[in-house]
Structure 1
Amino acid sequence: MRICFYGTDEEITRLCERPVLALLGPRRVQPVLAFELFNVHVTTDPYGSLFRLAADLTEVEGEHP
């Protein structure tokens, strides 16, 4: 899955520092899904105020601390 995040320099840096993202699942069927980011590309917003992080996500199997 491909995903994009927009944010300030600090927000994008924090996101890149995390090896695994936890996302809430739909309707509490599977409350939390864990994903790893790969093929990460960060670009500046044409208007100069935000950065754009584009990355592929892969679901992490198994349990993580």
Structure 2
Amino acid sequence: MRVCFYGTDEEITRICRRPVLAMVGPRHAQPVVAFELFNVSVTTDPYGSLFRLAADLTEVHREEVTE
């Protein structure tokens, strides 16, 4: 799945530093799903105030996560 995040330099840096992202799902689905980012690209917003991070997400299954 391809996603985009818009944010400040600090917000985008926080996302890039995390190896796994947790996303909250709808009430009747899985409540929390973990994803790993890959094929990440960061560009500046045409208006100059925000950055855009585009990345592919792949679901991480519980047995794949190391503690």
Question: Which of the five TM-score ranges fits, normalised by the shorter chain?
Answer: over 0.9
TM-score of the two chains, using structure 1 as the length reference? 0.92
TM-score of the two chains, using structure 2 as the length reference? 0.90
Q: Structure 1 residue runs of 4+, over 3 Å off?
A: none
Identity score, percent: 80
Unpaired stretches in structure 2, ≥5 consecutive residues: none
Alignment pair present for 1:5 and 2:17: no
Amino acid at match of 1:60: V
- Equivalent residues in 2 for 1:45-60, closer than 5 Å: 45-60=45-60
**Aligned counterpart, 2:24:** 24
Amino acid at match of 1:17: R
**1:48 CA displacement:** 0.4
- In 1, Cα distance between equivalents of 2:24 and 2:46: 30
Alignment pair present for 1:39 and 2:39: yes
Unpaired stretches in structure 1, ≥5 consecutive residues: none
When the two structures are aligned, how many residues end up with a matched partner? 65
C-alpha RMSD over aligned residues: 1.2
- In 2, Cα distance between equivalents of 1:42 and 1:7: 11
**1:28 CA displacement:** 4.4
**1:29 CA displacement:** 2.8
